[in-house]
Structure 1
């Protein structure tokens, strides 16, 4: 009995902490609390009450009434929880960039610049987003309000939503106050920083595993609901188009919701680097693949329209068949989109291979520069003969540009642009800046190499999670399409059988089987729409979990569409052969 009050107290504490965090999130917003409640929360509450009134007073099927207030409730919950989500998004953004900023800060601290200059340079890095903003606030407290660096860090630590960053600012304030050098502190913090980043990254991947299981449960539940919405109206006489349409809308909302949650939870670890001024090698081939894929898709759409609507030459005029199953007509026009998907995927695999080789290159470059006490150009003359895999050609090009007396900044810009790697660009910039400001090459190379090796190891774990997600989504696509079109084909067969029953029975078969309420072509069109929606959102989920280029989603979209359509054709053919007697 004594454990029950303890459990109650724990629940009350958790509820109070959650409420306090929500209230704190409201106070962190840029908009005033009263304005947010008046212009956002109040209209959302009125919209929710309106949807409840529609569900209660308007004569609609039960399958339509239920989703309407759910939509209103979703809008209200989103309005109330948005400030909390905003703070969580800011926290995730900080933690995603935490390791890069810490490495950058450590590199700058080992040079010959003042410690406040380190903070000023980091505050100017817009790429760090919320982290740069926080560092800028520390600079503002020191420069504008004449506070000491330790007081400014301690003051901001109480306002930062990220616990690891708040702890770092607290430790930094204590260290600065004790008189320790900034470089010594940051070098000693490297292992702590790396461990914090690894923990955050792995916990995010674990959360994605939980979301994967929850996604599978919800999608399979909605699949069964859609099958029931197809089959049950034949017994109840309700309008199947309305019920199927309502369930499809709810199905789409659930998938969109999961996609947004997964996008929010996925670690920010971009692979591609997009230079502003330089056209990297292979740029035109990727642009040409996008143009070719889009143009061919438009042509195939016109040919499919010619077949379906008899408005011109059709796709069957090019094939030795008189007609094609309707699902195949939907899959054919999207097929050329696989062309840019394959091209971008090949480029991305090359980028990942360069990322694997870069730690060895930068460590060798730093160690050689320190040992020989010579310039980067002289060291690269030897290093370019070594095998760095896919990075070898880029290293050779870097040496040639430096040897032609091209400005080092410009030569490294071409190097990072042609590798197209986000991490190589960031770490190369750090190394170059550190060298120009007097940093020790060997120390810089080892520091950057160690950090990038940890990121590459985490990417391997992310790749394993992506492979699991791909298998899950492909399997769900096949299973869902199988279930959808089994229900559709059964209804189609029963509709044909009812004509024979009505002539041989003493009462009309329509009293038992309500086939007259079905518009089968419309139902089939709606189910194919579900297949397309599932293909789009599943491809986006895979791309989000993978973290690669957006064009990678095109290849998965084409494959998922074909899987759904082929399973639909095979299901209707097999079920028709078994039941159509």
Structure 2
């Protein structure tokens, strides 16, 4: 027995030591990564420390001095040093955040970039010219900048292409891109064909993209759980700030206002973290030529109508509040009053939701279309317009009308590039735009249509499967946000109603022998002001939660309007019912 207990004790110690070792390794890796980010900044490190870090340290110390020198309630004083600590922490880790943002921009677009490079490599052009073309693609952002740096090393510094790739492989913040540059440099240096290498790399690149995409979705699940815990904690703090002053006599308006500010900081922090965590995979394509498609016109008209109706509703509500109408303002609960003007914004949200469904249907059909187009062009050895004459009679669902319009434009001898540009603008799909552009460039450069169609179709199918997982994660997040919104609102207004009831009780309990005001400080409360602050936090939560949903689902920005309206109404109805139910039970 003694031996067993000794063995268990040693195993626990070994496990604890292993955990400490892992923690030290994580801290060491984070520190080394931050130092490396400082060295890779465009601004010299000494200048950054003097202009950013030193002022943030001074601000942090000033916040500490304010807390200890000014007599403030605890809930008001707490956010002050937290704000100073936040400023200092942000200043210290900003270079790493900037480097991580560059890494994310690279890894989010790497699969499209490699596919684009593969399509270009099938054409008869110089290898460096492939890099020049990719460097002009502004959509690739950091990847386009890397291509520019490689071209500069070749043109300006007379470096060979393989040497330039090896130089940049040591400096890029993304390991997958660094490994890709190393392998490509070795292939070029050994005399291999870039086309063969890129074709063999397709599976590797797609698997890396799948791994990164699924990792981002798992991180979103962790963020969701962390967000749930933090919002529940802030909700408890707000209820505490609402009820506690009745016993302490502190100013409740100030304490509730301080927690509202804290709530805003927490939600904006999570909004930023979700934005940096969510994979970059937009659904919509927004061409530079605005307003030329039916869907764009519908969205614009719905947004204008929704905003105009919202302004009219706000004016009407203000007139009611000011007593300029025959409606009694007290007959409408304040949370419902706040939700009413937002209602017209659901109109553009519904329109965009319907149009987005069509865009997703076109994405589903495009893989079949591009594969059929490439195979038919190769089999018939004919032009795209002649092949489309047959394909336009096939059923491609929501994409059929766009294919028919593409055929008509090509038949009218409109320039093929312009005709395809109109096709992608009508489709409004980000993926269709990128892959159609790749197919068009590959055909113009002499690539084999069948091979191009199969390559593009296979890669797009992988992306579509990942989008299904993302949609599931989005639905889970929507459920969590709506649930936590209802629960938080319920807790907020329970506290407010308890304060209202205690205020009425204290008035009835006062006697000549004893004044209950010495125990229950109801005189410090301005219940109307506190209710207004709670309504502000409801609106703030609705705005930031709707933005979170929009970021995660990757859809149109106007999608956030509908969730904003629904979240506001959920909060308003829950607040109204809570006050009625709690008031009924506690007044019995």
TM-score of the superposed pair, with normalisation by structure 2 = 0.96
Query: Structure 1 residues 36 and 431 mapped into 2: Cα distance closer, same or farther (>3 Å)?
Result: same
- The corresponding residue for 1:330 is 338
Structure-2 separation of matches of 1:139 and 1:397: 39
Structure-2 separation of matches of 1:457 and 1:267: 14
SS in 2 for 1:146: coil
1:287 matched to 2:294 = no
Counterparts in 2 of 1:157-236, with a 5 A limit? 157-236=169-248
- The corresponding residue for 1:102 is 114
Structure-2 separation of matches of 1:94 and 1:218: 31
Deviations 1:492-540 (A, max 9, x none): 011011111003x721011111100100000100011111111000000
- The corresponding residue for 1:499 is 507
Structure-1 separation of matches of 2:332 and 2:194: 71
1:80 matched to 2:92 = yes
Which of 49, 52, 58 is residue 64 of structure 2 equivalent to?
A: 52
1:299 matched to 2:306 = no
SS in 1 for 2:331: coil
Structure-2 separation of matches of 1:59 and 1:490: 28
Structure-1 separation of matches of 2:217 and 2:136: 31
- The corresponding residue for 2:7 is none
SS in 2 for 1:533: helix
Deviations 1:265-319 (A, max 9, x none): 1111111111112612222221111111111111111111111112x337x49xx
Larger mean CA deviation between 468-477 and 299-308 belongs to: 299-308
- The corresponding residue for 2:250 is 238
1:469 matched to 2:477 = yes
Flag structure 2 segments of 5+ consecutive residues without an equivalent: 1-9
How far did residue 5 of structure 1 move? 6.4
SS in 2 for 1:333: helix
Deviations 1:141-165 (A, max 9, x none): 1122122211111111111110000
1:509 matched to 2:516 = yes
Query: Structure 1 residues 114 and 217 mapped into 2: Cα distance closer, same or farther (>3 Å)?
Result: same
Which of 417, 426, 434 is residue 426 of structure 1 equivalent to?
A: 434
1:377 matched to 2:385 = yes
Deviations 1:84-119 (A, max 9, x none): 000000000000110110000000001111211111
Which of 243, 264, 279 is residue 267 of structure 1 equivalent to?
A: 279
- The corresponding residue for 1:63 is 75
- The corresponding residue for 2:325 is 313
Structure-1 separation of matches of 2:330 and 2:31: 65
Deviations 1:32-53 (A, max 9, x none): 1111111111111111000000
Larger mean CA deviation between 43-52 and 135-144 belongs to: 135-144
How far did residue 322 of structure 1 move? 8.1
SS in 2 for 1:540: helix
Which of 566, 576, 584 is residue 577 of structure 1 equivalent to?
A: 584
- The corresponding residue for 2:367 is 359
- The corresponding residue for 2:487 is 479
Alpha-carbon RMSD across the aligned residues, in angstroms, is 1.5
Deviations 1:112-150 (A, max 9, x none): 112111111111111111001111111111122122211
Structure-2 separation of matches of 1:508 and 1:496: 14
Flag structure 1 segments of 5+ consecutive residues without an equivalent: none
Structure-1 separation of matches of 2:20 and 2:354: 56
SS in 2 for 1:189: helix
How far did residue 12 of structure 1 move? 4.2
Which of 551, 559, 571 is residue 558 of structure 2 equivalent to?
A: 551
1:532 matched to 2:539 = yes
Structure-1 separation of matches of 2:325 and 2:400: 51
SS in 1 for 2:171: coil
Structure-1 separation of matches of 2:371 and 2:468: 21
TM-score of the superposed pair, with normalisation by structure 1 = 0.97
- The corresponding residue for 2:266 is 254
Structure-1 separation of matches of 2:530 and 2:195: 68
Deviations 1:434-486 (A, max 9, x none): 00110000000000000111111111110000000000000000000000001
